[in-house]
Chains A and B, each alone.
Chain A
Amino acid sequence: MAAMFSQNPLMNGPNYSFNDSPRTSAPEGAREHRFDPYTDNGGSTLAIAGADFTIMAGDTRLTSGYSINSRHHPKLFKIGGTTADQKDATIVLSVVGFAADGEALKERLDAICKMYRYRHGKPMSVKACAQRLSTILYQKRFFPYYAYAILGGLDEEGKGAVYSYDPVGSYEREQCRAGGAAASLIMPFLDNQVNFKNQYIPNSGEGHALQERERRPLSRNEVEVLVKDAFDGAVERHIEVGDGLQMMVITKDGIEEILMPLKRD
């Protein structure tokens, strides 16, 4: 009752208007149901740079929770060709994470690369494209594209180039990188098999002071076998990986696409 005569009508007495009344704290037991704009659609990607080629790979499964949405949903995209069929493209982008963001990111980068080609009369270099991709990702720093991107191509000297990204645009050029659901399974395998980590020459020193095995560039055939082995392993141990393996081999002669079956369980 006393509230009626309070000198602070905004808080207690009959309110002057609904617009003016300050928000009081939420009523007891109120729950806020907020829309979550992100999901994880699973899957895994992989890229390895060779001396004069780059191999990109990804599985083709699309999941949501325990369900398989699609058994054929590619994660690898040719970028920056003259036409929609990307026949003369020289760069490949792989995206994994939230599929809708991944597709939006791919279409942004492709449109930018096409504009570059139109304006300058030459295709974008991987180095320039890599920097631009970082900028695109960072532009959405506070509502990020939830996608782990890897960009592959050949650099100015014709050597294989792989650039890997986090969702907000940090990037570096690497020899190899695995991304997505099974990245933690594949990456250590790659460290050992591509960069020869933890491989020592027997009897080359006292105790643990052994000489490291010398690194050498892998041949295309060796890399293809590595990719297949990496994915066969990931399929066994990760439920979000499987169905199909999509591989793209980038050489000076163009991009070759290979599709292979994986376990569909």
Chain B
Amino acid sequence: MDHRPQAWGRPRDDIYGAYDASYLQTSGPKTATQSPVVTGTSVIAIKFKDGIVMAADNLASYGSLARFTDVKRLRTFLDTSVVGFGGDVSDMQFLDRHLKELAIDEAYEHNDDQQQQDDDDSHHKSTPGTALNAANLHKYLQKLMYRRRNDFDPLWNQILVGGLDAARKPFLASVDLRGTAFTSPSLATGFGAALAQPIMRRYAATDEDAARLTREQAVDVVKECMKVLFYRDARSLDRYSIAVVTKDGVELSEDEQLERQSWAFAERIRGYGTQTV
């Protein structure tokens, strides 16, 4: 038996074999997130006449395990923008803390501006707001994500940012873990890019099409897409959050339930399971 203090509290090598100390290594190269652990699936969003609609379900998966079923993946920013996160949930929470801090700083610096918005809606049309709008926020997040990829320490998310730009037109854009940023009349992350995006593009192929959509139409399209995603994406949930951003602010509902589901199509699926065709 080894009684040296260095061996105290360790499993005995003669019984358990040599301990693999590499797990506790503190020297050697710095390691960063090399793969996501607890993940959120798709986020989808579409522009309409005077704003945007965004939705994401409330599930955080641990691999194929539905681990946390009440995780809100849409966050508001300064009551002017909404940010939707796909990918790693802990990185999302880090970004959320970061954005909260940023929002507080912004609210202090532009106190009058916020006051104006509260007082009178027509005010901020004549005096363009100086507080961060959705376009500014998106640029900020893009720089942050690109910086982190340059440091080989990426935040494992794909993010959608929705709101109004400096000209108070609907704004919708995406940024991913490599800092790639782009905009489109409709956007979807993860499985949504394959399942929801074709449906949304039927209604808003171009910005002109999107400018003809009413709020009700846009919400209906997004809800329909969430249903399709729940049918086919195995890492999804029937409880979801939906946000609508217009010049009047953000309306966020975090406990929606999928309605009017029909699993009749499942009867016709052949080739899996036990049935003999």
By the criterion CB–CB under 8 Å, are B24 and A18 in contact? yes
Closest to A21 in B: B21
Q: CB within 8 A of A37: which of B18, B20, B149?
A: B149
Q: How large is the interface on A (under 10, 10 to 19, 20 to 34, 35 or more residues)?
A: 35 or more
CA distance A1 to B13 in the complex (A): 8
Chain A, 4-29, contact with B by CB distance < 8 Å: what is the 0/1 string? 10000000111111110101101100
Q: Interface segment, A69-77, A184-192, A197-205, A218-226? A: A69-77
Q: A24-B22, A100-B181 are in contact. Are A3 and B6 (CB under 8 A)?
A: no
Q: CB within 8 A of B146: which of A32, A38, A73, A104?
A: A104
The reply to whether the CB of A103 lies closer than 8 angstroms to some CB of chain B is: yes
- Count residues of B near A (Cβ-Cβ below 8 Å): 39
Chain B, 18-30, contact with A by CB distance < 8 Å: what is the 0/1 string? 1111101111100
By the criterion CB–CB under 8 Å, are A18 and B182 in contact? no
CA distance A39 to B149 in the complex (A): 12
Closest to B4 in A: A14
Q: CB within 8 A of A69: which of B7, B13, B33, B182?
A: B182
By the criterion CB–CB under 8 Å, are A100 and B180 in contact? yes
Q: How far, in Å, is A68 (CB) from chain B's closest CB?
A: 8
Q: A13-B2, A19-B26, A70-B183 are in contact. Are A3 and B18 (CB under 8 A)?
A: yes
Q: How far, in Å, is A172 (CB) from chain B's closest CB?
A: 29
By the criterion CB–CB under 8 Å, are B184 and A33 in contact? no
The reply to whether the CB of B102 lies closer than 8 angstroms to some CB of chain A is: no
By the criterion CB–CB under 8 Å, are A19 and B181 in contact? no
The reply to whether the CB of A62 lies closer than 8 angstroms to some CB of chain B is: yes
The reply to whether the CB of B194 lies closer than 8 angstroms to some CB of chain A is: yes
By the criterion CB–CB under 8 Å, are B174 and A16 in contact? no
By the criterion CB–CB under 8 Å, are B35 and A14 in contact? no
Q: How far, in Å, is B200 (CB) from chain A's closest CB?
A: 13
The reply to whether the CB of A55 lies closer than 8 angstroms to some CB of chain B is: no
Interface residues of A in 91-148 (CB under 8 A from B): 98-100, 103-104, 143
CA distance A98 to B146 in the complex (A): 12
The reply to whether the CB of B163 lies closer than 8 angstroms to some CB of chain A is: no
By the criterion CB–CB under 8 Å, are B154 and A14 in contact? no
Closest to A70 in B: B182
Q: Which residues of A contact B268 (CB under 8 A)?
A: none
Q: CB within 8 A of B10: which of A14, A32, A64, A104?
A: A14
Closest to A32 in B: B34
By the criterion CB–CB under 8 Å, are B22 and A17 in contact? no
CB contacts between A and B, total, < 8 Å: 89
Q: CB within 8 A of B193: which of A12, A67, A71?
A: A67
By the criterion CB–CB under 8 Å, are B25 and A33 in contact? no
CA distance A73 to B183 in the complex (A): 8
The reply to whether the CB of B178 lies closer than 8 angstroms to some CB of chain A is: yes
CA distance A148 to B21 in the complex (A): 45
CA distance A33 to B194 in the complex (A): 25
The reply to whether the CB of B68 lies closer than 8 angstroms to some CB of chain A is: no
By the criterion CB–CB under 8 Å, are A23 and B182 in contact? no
Q: How far, in Å, is B144 (CB) from chain A's closest CB?
A: 12
Chain B, 140-167, contact with A by CB distance < 8 Å: what is the 0/1 string? 0010001001101010000000000000
CA distance A80 to B127 in the complex (A): 29
CA distance A17 to B19 in the complex (A): 12
Q: Which residues of B contact A62 (CB under 8 A)?
A: 182
CA distance A80 to B181 in the complex (A): 22
Q: CB within 8 A of B182: which of A4, A19, A99?
A: A99
The reply to whether the CB of A44 lies closer than 8 angstroms to some CB of chain B is: no
CA distance A19 to B7 in the complex (A): 14
Q: Which residues of B contact A37 (CB under 8 A)?
A: 149-150, 152, 154, 178
Q: How far, in Å, is A257 (CB) from chain B's closest CB?
A: 17
Q: Which residues of A contact B194 (CB under 8 A)?
A: 67
Q: How far, in Å, is B229 (CB) from chain A's closest CB?
A: 16
Q: How far, in Å, is A242 (CB) from chain B's closest CB?
A: 14
Please name 12 further chain A to chain B contacts, defined as beta carbons within 8 Å, in addition to the given A24-B20, A71-B206, sorted by A numbering. Answer: A4-B13, A12-B18, A18-B24, A21-B21, A23-B25, A35-B149, A37-B149, A41-B180, A67-B194, A69-B174, A99-B181, A100-B181
Q: 20 A-B pairs, CB-CB below 8 angstroms?
A: A15-B6, A16-B6, A18-B25, A19-B26, A24-B20, A24-B22, A35-B32, A35-B34, A37-B152, A37-B178, A38-B178, A39-B180, A41-B180, A62-B182, A69-B180, A70-B184, A71-B206, A72-B183, A73-B182, A104-B179
List the 4 closest pairs (A to B, CB-CB), nearest first.
A14-B7, A100-B179, A70-B182, A100-B180
A residues near B, CB below 8 A? 1, 3-4, 12-19, 21, 23-24, 26-27, 32-35, 37-39, 41, 62, 64, 67, 69-73, 98-100, 103-104, 143
